[in-house]
Amino acid sequence: MKIIKVHDFNYTKEVDFKKIQLHLKKRIKLSPISENEVKTCAGVDLAYWEEENQSFGTCSIIVIDYHSKEVIEKVCSVGKINVPYVAGYLAFRELPLIIEAAEKLTVEPDVFLFDGNGFLHYNHIGIATHASFFLNKATIGIAKTYLKIQNHDFIMPENEVGAFSDIIINGTVYGRAVRTMKNVKPVFLSCGNYIDLNSSFEIMMKLINEESRLPIPVRLADLETHRLRKKFKSD
């Protein structure tokens, strides 16, 4: 898969991280896409560990057929993490491994779903949004925990499958708390880029089964990163 080089990753200061995010923010395009346009989709997840005071990470990308839900391709990457963790700028740590894995794809997914946030972010540039500029594909963020912004709490959706409440801060819809399974905690959905919230919701819900509150490709990527972390740590 061809990757667009948007910027380098030799930055380590928060002021540089923020400057890049604010620049990319101007290029976000949230517009609807038709389900007819979606034939394949990919789940993206990362896992980390420490060895001898050095951080390591692995990324898994799993592509499935949107309609049959069958796995078409899976790729991974592994390596040292050289960018320090700074709250709100996690993408700068994760993207090098995501890009390395995505470059191995022979199938170009129509939509990428990330275990993380997109527009639901302090600067609207969570990992799903940030990655979209490199991948040049529609992206969706699905987070397992809520990122509180400006001390704003979300409204818990009704305990029914498909129930949701939009997360609106100062008149802007940042994302959506969604109940994907009854009697299970909601997930936090947000647009990444090149797609709107309703389209993101429809696609995510079509990818939910009884095994998890997460959409199928994200869950598969999550399971794979845990397997890979165990493998690489033992190696």
| Domain contains 121 | yes
Per-residue model confidence as pLDDT tens digits over 171-180: 999 999 999 9
**Residues 6 or more apart from 32 whose CB is under 8 A from it?**
195, 196, 198, 199
The residue-averaged pLDDT of 109-120 equals: 98
| Domain contains 187 | yes
Q: Tell whether the model's pLDDT for residue 71 goes beyond 80.
A: yes
Q: Take residue 183 and report the two structure tokens written for it.
A: 């009697």
Q: Take residue 47 and report the two structure tokens written for it.
A: 């896992």
The C-alpha atoms of residue 130 and residue 125 are separated, in whole angstroms, by 5
| Domain contains 219 | yes
Q: Around Cβ 88, how many Cβ atoms within 10 Å?
A: 16
**Residues 6 or more apart from 205 whose CB is under 8 A from it?**
162, 178, 180
Residue corresponding to tokens 């709250």? 87
Q: Is 45 annotated as a binding residue?
A: yes
The C-alpha atoms of residue 15 and residue 206 are separated, in whole angstroms, by 40
How wide is the angle at C-alpha 59 spanned by C-alphas 57 and 61, nearest 5°? 175
Would you place residue 82 in the very low, low, confident or very high pLDDT band (cuts 50, 70, 90)? confident
Per-residue model confidence as pLDDT tens digits over 224-234: 999 999 998 87
Q: Tell whether the model's pLDDT for residue 12 goes beyond 90.
A: no
Q: CATH no. for residue 95?
A: 3.30.2170.10
| Domain contains 48 | yes
pLDDT score at 143 = 97
Per the prediction, the chain carries an average pLDDT of: 96
Q: Is 115 annotated as a binding residue?
A: yes
Residue corresponding to tokens 């991280």? 17
Q: Which structural domain, as residue segments, surrounds residue 158?
A: 15-234
How many domains does the chain contain in total? 1
| Domain contains 5 | no
Of the listed ranges 12-16, 170-174, 183-187, the one predicted with least confidence: 12-16
Look up residue 9 and give its DSSP letter: S
The residue-averaged pLDDT of 12-34 equals: 94
Q: Tell whether the model's pLDDT for residue 138 goes beyond 80.
A: yes
Q: Tell whether the model's pLDDT for residue 189 goes beyond 80.
A: yes
Q: Tell whether the model's pLDDT for residue 10 goes beyond 90.
A: no
Q: DSSP per residue over 51-105, as a string? A: ETTEEEEEEEEEEEETTT--EEEEEEEEEE--SPP-TT-THHHHHHHHHHHHTT-
| Domain contains 8 | no
| Domain contains 196 | yes
Would you place residue 117 in the very low, low, confident or very high pLDDT band (cuts 50, 70, 90)? very high
| Domain contains 10 | no
Would you place residue 17 in the very low, low, confident or very high pLDDT band (cuts 50, 70, 90)? very high
The residue-averaged pLDDT of 77-103 equals: 94
Per-residue model confidence as pLDDT tens digits over 31-49: 999 989 999 999 999 999 9
